[in-house]
Structure 1
Amino acid sequence: MSKFKPVDTNSVFAVSGGGRGITAECVVQIAHHFRCKFILLGRTSLSGEEPEWARGCFEEAELKKKFAAHLTAQGEKPTPVKVQKGLDALQARREISKTVRRVEEEGGQAVYLSVDITDSQTLKQALDKAQKITGAVTGIIHGAGNLADKLIENKTLADFENVFTTKVRGLINLLECLPPNKLSELVLFSSVAGFFGNAGQADYSMANEVLNKTALLVQKQQPECRVISLNWGPWDGGMVTPALREFYARRGIHVIPVEDGTQRLVDALETDTPGSTLVVVGPPLPEPERALPTAPQTFQLRRRLDPKANPFLVDHRIGGNPVLPAICVIDWVANACEQLFPGYTMYTSINNRVFKGLVFETDEVNDYTLELKEIEREGNDKLVFEATIWSVNEKGKRLYHYGARCDLRRKLPQPPIVEGIKIPQTSVLNGVDLYRDGTLFHGPAFQGVRRVLSVERESMLVECYLPAVSEKTQGQFPVQNFNPYAVDVQLQCMLIWARHFYQAGSLPLSIQHVEQYRTIPFDKVYYAAMQVQTSSEMGLIANVTAFDEHGVVYTRINGAEVTISQRLNSLFVPAELAGTTGATN
C-alpha cells in the first residue's frame, strides 16, 4: 500500500475561508503541529489602517457608540443596521489579523489574500503572487461556505447561488488554479447536512454532497494525493449560535468542541496510508419540530407496482406465483407516512388485515392507491393513520387489498428486555433443511432462519441471520426504519410450528399488533421467540418477539394469525425448485 507524503515545514496550504472562524482554528492547530505555511483566502479586505475611532477599543458596546458618533460626524444617519455592518467588518479584520499572528506564534507562516474564490481569474492572479512568497502550494483546504437556511419553497435563486456557488464554483476554481496532480493534500470541509440531509438546507446539502463526490473522484484519479472530505457535525462555535446549541442539546446532539475537531483534522493529516476518503464527524441533524395542520389530514398516494422492478418477489412464491408478503405492506405504509412526516417513525402497526392479497401471475404493471386518514394525534408527538390499499377493477369499482393502522412517533420508546430466555447451544432443526423440504417456500431474500433451537406446543425459539439483500433486489420496498425482509423471517416461526405439529402449510390472515423499537440489521444474528396463544389444526394465533443476543427487543408482534391446511402443502414449492433472485448479489 502506497504511503502519502508527510506534512512538514515545507508544506504550503491554500485555505479558503481560512482567516476566520472554525477554519482558522484548524489552521492554527495545523501550524502548531507541522509549522508549515498557509495562503489564507477570504473576502474581507485588510487594506488600509484600522480607523482611528476604533483604535484601542475592544468592548462591543463602546465600539458601537464610537462608530455611531463617527457616522454622525460624517453627516450620515447611524441606523442600527449600518452600525452593525460596520462593526462586523471591523471585527472580521481584527480576527483575520489575529489568525495570522497566532499562526506565526505557533511557528508557521501565513499570508492573507482578499479574493473572491468564485472569480477564477482574480483567484489565479492572487495565488500566483502569494506563491512567490510561500513557495508552491502543496495542499488545499476548502473551508469557505455560506448559509441561507429556509424551507425550499421560500428559497430564492440568489439564496441558492450564494450558498452553492461558494462551495462548488469555489472548489472548481481552486482545482483549476492548483491541479490535483501537483498536490499532496486535498481537504474538503463538507457537512453532515450533505451526508444525511437537513431541513432548510437543500442548497447547502447539495453543495456539500458535491464536495463528497469530488473527493471520491480525485482520490480515484490521484491515489498519491491524500484526499479527505470531512463531513462535520455542528461545531461549538462557527455557525452554531447559543440558541442553536440549546436546540441540539434538547435533542441529544453533541456539538464538536473546537479542540477535538481541530485535532481530528491533524490526525487525518498525520495518517501516512490511505483510509476513508469520506469521514463523518457527527450524527445526523435532527428534524425541526413543525406545527401540524389543525384539521385531520387525508392523503391518497398512487403507486405503480412493477413485478420486474421488485426482484425479491421471486423469492416469495406460493403455488408458483410471486405474492407480496404481508410484512411488505407494513413497510409500504410506514415508509409513506415517514416520508410525509419527516422526523416521525412508525412505532406500531395495528389491525393489519389481508382482504385480497397481491398475487403476480404475470409481469403486468398495475396501479394501487394507498389511502391514509388521520384518526388520532397527541400534540406533535404522536400521529395515527388508518391505511387502506386498493385498486380499481375492470368494472371501475374499488378492490380492497389491505388495511392497517399506523402509529407514528417523534421518539420511539426505549426497547424492552426479554427476560428468562436461555439460548441453547444445540438445535432441533436446521434452517437449510426447512427451505429445502418445503416447510418454508422462501428464496434467498427471506432465508434467514438458521436454526430452530426449541419447539414445543406452547413456544418456539429460532436463531436467525439474514444476509444483506441488495438495494436492487429490494426494489420499491427498500429498508428504511423498518426491515420487512428480517421481520418476515421472524414470522416464519409460525409456518415452521404448523408444519412440525400438523404436517400442514399455513398462510397469514392478519396481524393485530406490530411494535418496532429498532431496525433489525442484516448480517447479524438475532433471535425470534414465539408464544402460542391459541391453536388447532385449522389455525394458529401467536406472539413473536425478535431480539438481539443481549435480549434487547427489535420488533414485537402480537396476535399474528395464520390459517393451517394440508391443502396448502402442494403450494409450498422449495425455493431452489421455483427459481430465486440471488438476493444478495
Structure 2
Amino acid sequence: MHESGQNDHICTDISRYQVTISNPSSVFLVSGGAKGITAQCVIRLAQRYRCKWILLGRSENAPIEPAWVRDSLSESELKKRIMEDLLAQGEKPTPMKVQKVFNTISSRREIQKTLSTLEQVGSQAEYLSVDVTNPVTLREKLAVAVERLGPITGIIHGAGNLADKLIEKKTEQDFETVFAAKVKGLENLLSSVSLSQLDYLVLFSSVAGFYGNAGQTDYAIANEILNKSAHLVKQYHPNCHVVAINWGPWDSGMVTPELKKAFAQRNIEVIPIEVGAQMLVEELSAAHHETAQVIIGSPLTPPAEALDPELRSYRIRRRLTLEANPFLQDHVIGGNPVLPATCAVSWIINSCEQLYPGYKFFRLENFQVLKGIVFDGTQANEFILDVREVTKTDANEVTFEVRIWSEKEKGKIRFHYTGLVELRQQSSASPVYNPVDNTSSKTITGLSLYQSKTLFHGLTFQGIERVLDINEKSLTMQCILPKIENKQQGQFRSHPFNPYTADVLVQSALIWSQHLHQVGCLPSEIQQITQFKSIPFDQHFWATLEIKIKTETQIICDITTYDSLGEIYMHLSGVKFTISKSLKFLEKK
C-alpha cells in the first residue's frame, strides 16, 4: 500500500530540485546511516546521486581490526577466536561476553563495508560515532566534519530504538529510550543546521505511528511526532523537499520466520530491501516535492481477540460538513448535496469495526433510509450513532444494531438510518457468480448516461463504463471507478466497504427505471448486503441487477458485483427503490 498526503504550499521553481540532490557538493547528514536498512537506502541513493555523506551512529568504529580476527569470516570461527582471546587475557569466555565482543566486531565490519561501498560508487563519506540524543557532542563533531565536506544540505533521520512491551509493563526508561532517539534526535539534528539551507529532510517514520500497534505505544507516539513535524517544517519551509515515510516492516534480519508468519496471519506484507530502497529514491524525485507524508506498507490491523460475552452499547457523535466532504458536490439532488445511502452504510460498518479491531465486516441486514441527510442549510449540527451489541457467538461473530439520528429541535428526534451489522474474525471465500444471459447486442456507454439526464452523479461517482445488457428482468454493466484521493473522500474513506464503488451498483436501478419506464427512483431499504472482498478502485468489475418485484411505486431487486473470473465482491439482496414519475428532481439542473 502506498498513500500520500498533499501539502498546500506549491513550489514555483521545480527545476532547481531536479538537480540539487545530484550536485556533488550536496552533503547529506544521516542518523543511523552506517548499518542496517538505513545504510542500504543510503547506498541506493549514492548509486543514483553522487553526493557526500556524513553517517552517524552510536557504535565505535575501528578501521583496523586486531590481527587475531582478520581472517575469520564465519560466525563460528570468529566466536572461537574471541573465546581464545578472552582465555589468553585470563577471563572466562561466558556466552554473554563472547556475544558482546562478537557484536562489536560485526558492527565495525558493517560500518566499514558501508563506507567502502559508498566510496566504490563515487561518493565521499565519513562516519561519526555519536549519540544523536547528545546535542553538545553532536554539534562539536558535526562542526569538524562540515569543515571537511561542506555545509549540510540534506538530512535523513533513520535512527531509532525499540522497547516493545504491553503498556502496563513499560517503564519510564523504556519510553525514554524509544522517544529520545526519534524525537530528541530530530530536534538535535535540526538545531545543528540552519533549516533555510536544507534542500531535503527525510524522516524514517513507521506505520505504527499512523495505525498504532500493540506493544508499541511509545514507538507509535514518537513516529507520529515525526509525521507532524514533517508537515510543520514543510509549512514554514515550502522550498525544502520534506517527507515522513511511514515504513512497514522490512524483510531484514530482525524479521524472523516466526514473525513473518505472524505478519502473514494479519495480512501484513514485509518490504523487500531492494524494493524499499528504490522506493526511497523515487520519493525524493521532483514529482513528489509537495508530498509531506507517505505510507509504504500494509495497514497494522491488530489480531482479533476472543469475544467477551457481555453485550455492550455505545454512542458515537459526529459532525458532518460540506467542507470536510468534497465528494458531496458530486451527489446533488434537487439543488442540494445529499449523503449517498452507501456512505451511510460505510459509516455504520466502520464504526462497528473500530470497536472490534481484527474483526471484519461480513453482512449488513435490514438497512433502511428513514430520513436521508440533505445539506440544505437546515441539517443538524451533530449526528449520533447508537450501537447496541445484539449477539456474540463462539464462532467469533458479533452482531450490532445501529441507528443514526439527530436532534432537529430540542427534544425532537429525527432518525436517519438503521441496520444490523455482522462482523467475523475470518473472511469467507468468494463464491462464483454466473451472470444472467445477455441477449442484447446493443450497449450503452456510461458517458452518455452521465451526460444525459439519466444519471445525476458527478465525477466522483462516475464508474459505469458501459451497460452490456438491459431488459425487463435484468441489467448487466461493466464498471471501473478511478482512485479517489483521500481529501476528496473526506470523512467517508473506502476501507473496508467502498461506498463509492458501491454507489455505482445502485445506479443500475436508476438506469433500468429511466430507460425502460421513464421514472426516477431512490433507494430506501436493503434487506441484506454480504461482502466477500472490497470492490477496488482502478480495476474493472461487473454488476448484474435482477428485478424481483416491480409495482407502480417500488422496485425490489438483487445486485451482484464480481470480477473478471466471476468471483463475487458483494451481493445486495432485497434492494428496495421507491419509484415515481414525480421524482423529476433527480434530473440535472
State the TM bucket, normalised to the shorter chain. Answer: 0.7 to 0.9
Partner secondary structure for residue 133 of structure 2:
coil
**Equivalent residue for 2:128?**
113
Check if 1:370 corresponds to 2:386. yes
Partner secondary structure for residue 94 of structure 1:
helix
**Where do 1:20-169 residues align within 5 Å?**
20-26=35-41, 38-45=53-60, 84=96, 90-103=101-114, 105-106=116-117, 108=119, 111-132=126-147, 137=152, 139-150=154-165, 158-169=173-184
Check if 1:283 corresponds to 2:305. no
Q: TM-score, normalised by structure 2?
A: 0.74
Q: Distance in 2 between matches of 1:485 and 1:8?
A: 45
Deviation at 1:517, TM superposition (A): 3.7
Q: Distance in 2 between matches of 1:394 and 1:6?
A: 60
Check if 1:569 corresponds to 2:581. yes
Deviation at 1:347, TM superposition (A): 2.1
Which stretch of the first structure deviates more once superposed, 555-564 or 519-528?
A: 519-528
Residues 234 and 292 in structure 2, CA contact (< 8 A), matched pair in contact too: no
**Where do 1:324-343 residues align within 5 Å?**
325-343=340-358
1:519-540 deviation digits (Å, cap 9, x = unpaired): 4456776543211223333433
CA gap 1:533/1:4 in 2 versus in 1, 3 angstroms: same
Residues 317 and 383 in structure 2, CA contact (< 8 A), matched pair in contact too: yes
RMSD: 5.0
CA gap 1:12/1:494 in 2 versus in 1, 3 angstroms: closer
Aligned pairs, how many? 563
Partner secondary structure for residue 4 of structure 1:
helix
Which stretch of the first structure deviates more once superposed, 56-65 or 297-306?
A: 56-65
Residues 17 and 40 in structure 1, CA contact (< 8 A), matched pair in contact too: yes
Residues 83 and 98 in structure 2, CA contact (< 8 A), matched pair in contact too: no
**What is the percent sequence identity of the aligned residues?**
41
Residues 82 and 101 in structure 2, CA contact (< 8 A), matched pair in contact too: no
Q: What is the aligned counterpart of 1:535 among 550, 558, 562?
A: 550
Deviation at 1:518, TM superposition (A): 4.0
Letter in 2 for 1:99: E
Q: TM-score, normalised by structure 1?
A: 0.75
CA gap 1:298/1:23 in 2 versus in 1, 3 angstroms: same
Q: What is the aligned counterpart of 2:192 among 166, 174, 177?
A: 177
Deviation at 1:557, TM superposition (A): 1.1
Residues 351 and 403 in structure 1, CA contact (< 8 A), matched pair in contact too: yes
Specify every segment of 5 or more residues in structure 2 that has no aligned partner in the other structure, as ranges: 1-14
Deviation at 1:145, TM superposition (A): 0.5
Letter in 2 for 1:456: N
Q: Distance in 1 between matches of 2:79 and 2:360?
A: 47
Partner secondary structure for residue 141 of structure 1:
strand
Residues 441 and 469 in structure 2, CA contact (< 8 A), matched pair in contact too: no
Deviation at 1:123, TM superposition (A): 0.8
Letter in 1 for 2:315: L
CA gap 1:339/1:294 in 2 versus in 1, 3 angstroms: closer
Deviation at 1:335, TM superposition (A): 1.0
Residues 18 and 41 in structure 1, CA contact (< 8 A), matched pair in contact too: yes
CA gap 1:528/1:61 in 2 versus in 1, 3 angstroms: same
Letter in 2 for 1:461: T
User: Larger Rg: 1 or 2?
Assistant: 1
Check if 1:455 corresponds to 2:470. yes
Q: Distance in 2 between matches of 1:306 and 1:281?
A: 26
Letter in 2 for 1:14: L
Q: What is the aligned counterpart of 2:313 among 299, 313, 316?
A: 299
1:35-76 deviation digits (Å, cap 9, x = unpaired): 9765432234569x99999999975987998999999989xx
Check if 1:555 corresponds to 2:570. yes
CA gap 1:90/1:111 in 2 versus in 1, 3 angstroms: farther
Q: What is the aligned counterpart of 1:479 among 488, 494, 503?
A: 494
Q: Distance in 2 between matches of 1:338 and 1:89?
A: 46
Residues 16 and 40 in structure 1, CA contact (< 8 A), matched pair in contact too: yes
CA gap 1:201/1:339 in 2 versus in 1, 3 angstroms: same
**Equivalent residue for 2:208?**
193
Deviation at 1:559, TM superposition (A): 1.9
1:302-329 deviation digits (Å, cap 9, x = unpaired): 3355576767668767778876554333
Residues 286 and 343 in structure 1, CA contact (< 8 A), matched pair in contact too: no
Deviation at 1:157, TM superposition (A): 5.7
Q: Distance in 1 between matches of 2:475 and 2:272?
A: 50
Deviation at 1:143, TM superposition (A): 1.8
Letter in 2 for 1:510: E
Q: Distance in 2 between matches of 1:461 and 1:6?
A: 52
Letter in 1 for 2:137: T
Q: What is the aligned counterpart of 2:400 among 366, 385, 401?
A: 385
Q: Distance in 1 between matches of 2:88 and 2:564?
A: 72
Partner secondary structure for residue 166 of structure 1:
helix
Residues 562 and 568 in structure 2, CA contact (< 8 A), matched pair in contact too: yes
Which stretch of the first structure deviates more once superposed, 92-101 or 421-430?
A: 421-430
1:534-577 deviation digits (Å, cap 9, x = unpaired): 3333433211123456655443212212344xxx3324314533
CA gap 1:518/1:126 in 2 versus in 1, 3 angstroms: same
**Equivalent residue for 1:581?**
none
Deviation at 1:244, TM superposition (A): 1.9
Residues 187 and 227 in structure 1, CA contact (< 8 A), matched pair in contact too: yes
Q: Distance in 2 between matches of 1:203 and 1:238?
A: 23
Specify every segment of 5 or more residues in structure 1 that has no aligned partner in the other structure, as ranges: 578-585
1:215-269 deviation digits (Å, cap 9, x = unpaired): 577678879877665543322335434432332244454434445555666x559
Letter in 1 for 2:389: K
**Where do 1:316-355 residues align within 5 Å?**
325-354=340-369
Q: Distance in 1 between matches of 2:287 and 2:409?
A: 61
Partner secondary structure for residue 123 of structure 1:
helix
Q: Distance in 2 between matches of 1:122 and 1:296?
A: 56
Residues 297 and 374 in structure 1, CA contact (< 8 A), matched pair in contact too: yes
Q: What is the aligned counterpart of 1:409 among 399, 402, 424?
A: 424
Residues 18 and 27 in structure 1, CA contact (< 8 A), matched pair in contact too: yes
